[in-house]
């Protein structure tokens, strides 16, 4: 028996006159209305499910964008870590520069204001309008800071390089050895400071050191320089003065003789005369002075090149004795 798959629905409407539900004849209009209402319901349901799907699951393009975002974020983190590392290395260099190189070369450390400088906020205004603006501004600012600090740092090294070269020359020039050899030295009779005057027997400032040594013992230039005085001084007798530059001068007095002439360049260790007792002196000795910027300083601090620590201690001990000077 053939079954009817679709059975036409019979519509009933209530007839108040007969007080009965009566079957309605078939109408295409009603059929169309029915189809229309079903379709609208279907579309609405479809839209609802579509919305749920879109908000719950990602489309392939969204998924790829999200992955790209994650990758960019990871890359940003790597860059950020690298910038932090560079900043750390730079800070180390700056600290070494200020606390070691600049101290060694006797020059002022660079203040933070010079190192960091200042960056104009206007520089980043255009970046603020771009997407991910905050990230872009931060990274650009940080790279700018590092670039600026690196520039200042390299300038600082240039300056220190020049100072180091000058320092090398300075080290050759400043008085740094004893003016007479240790083997020729009898003793250091008197040091720098207030001592008893050998002639007047009163306490007087002694502006140098007296090296007691036999007559004609060689006297050496204690640093490179130019001879600026050769001649007689009422108190000091035959005297040679060397200008070493950098504010330093050395004075060699009571010399027996000297063949030096004014204006002659000398090197450290050159013989510039011989020990005598000319001028106001009581016995053969060399009276030796070191001047820095026109003021006599204790020569004991300028023998650092040729004394062992033990010899240096001995010299300090001898030179601190209060005894009479040989003048």
Nearer to Zn ion, 188 or 242 (CB): 188
Nearer to Zn ion, 173 or 326 (CB): 326
Nearer to Zn ion, 207 or 226 (CB): 207
Closest residue to Zn ion using C-beta atoms? 287
Closest CB 288 distance from Zn ion, rounded Å: 8
Nearer to Zn ion, 149 or 210 (CB): 210
As a three-state string, the secondary structure of the chain is CCCCCCCCCCCEEEECCCCEEEECCCCHHHHHHHHHHHHHHHHHHHHHHHHHHHHHCCCHHHHHHHHHHHHHHHHHHHHHHHHHHHHHHHHHHHHHHHHHHHHHCCCCCCCHHHHHCCCCHHHHHHHHCCCCHHHHHHHHHHHHHHHHHHHHHHHHHHHHHHHHHHHHHHHHHCCCCCCCCHHHCCEEEECCEEEECCCCCCEEEECCEEEECCCCCEEECCCCEEEEEEEEECCCEEEEEEEEECCEEEEEEEEEECCCCCCCEECCCCEEEEEECCCCCCCCEEEEEEEECCEEECHHHHCCCCCCHHHHHHHHHHHCCCCECCC
Nearer to Zn ion, 102 or 285 (CB): 285
Instruction: Report the interface residues with Zn ion, using CB under 5 A.
Output: 210, 287, 325, 327
Closest CB 215 distance from Zn ion, rounded Å: 17
Nearer to Zn ion, 101 or 211 (CB): 211
Nearer to Zn ion, 93 or 196 (CB): 196
């Amino acid at each position: 028996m053939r079954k009817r798959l679709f059975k036409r629905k019979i519509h009933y409407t209530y007839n108040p006159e007969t007080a009965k539900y009566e079957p309605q004849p078939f109408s295409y209009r009603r059929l169309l209305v029915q189809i229309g209402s079903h379709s609208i319901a279907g579309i609405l349901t479809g839209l609802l499910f579509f919305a749920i799907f879109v908000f719950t699951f990602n489309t392939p393009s969204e998924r790829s964008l999200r992955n790209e975002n994650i990758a960019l974020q990871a890359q940003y983190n790597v860059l950020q870590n690298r910038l932090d590392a560079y900043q750390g290395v730079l800070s180390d260099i700056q600290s070494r520069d200020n606390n070691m190189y600049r101290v060694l070369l006797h020059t002022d450390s660079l203040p933070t204001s010079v190192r960091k400088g200042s960056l104009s906020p206007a520089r980043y205004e255009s970046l603020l309008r771009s997407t991910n603006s905050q990230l872009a501004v931060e990274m650009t600012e940080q790279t700018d800071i590092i670039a600026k600090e690196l520039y200042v740092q390299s300038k600082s090294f240039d300056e220190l390089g020049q100072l180091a070269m000058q320092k090398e020359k300075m080290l050759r020039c400043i008085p740094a050895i004893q003016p007479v050899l240790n083997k020729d030295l009898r003793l250091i009779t008197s040091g720098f400071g207030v001592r008893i005057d050998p002639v007047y027997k009163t306490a007087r400032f002694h502006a140098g050191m007296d090296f007691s040594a036999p007559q004609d013992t060689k006297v050496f230039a204690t640093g490179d320089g130019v001879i600026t005085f050769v001649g007689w001084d009422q108190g000091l007798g035959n005297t040679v003065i060397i200008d070493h530059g950098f504010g330093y001068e050395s004075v060699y007095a009571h010399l027996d003789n000297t063949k030096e002439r004014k204006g002659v360049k000398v090197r450290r260790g050159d013989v510039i005369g011989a020990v005598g007792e000319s001028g106001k002196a009581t016995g053969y000795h060399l009276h030796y002075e070191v001047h820095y910027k026109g003021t006599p300083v204790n020569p004991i601090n300028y023998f650092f090149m040729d004394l062992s620590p033990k010899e240096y201690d001995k010299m300090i001990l001898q030179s601190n004795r209060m005894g009479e000077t040989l003048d």
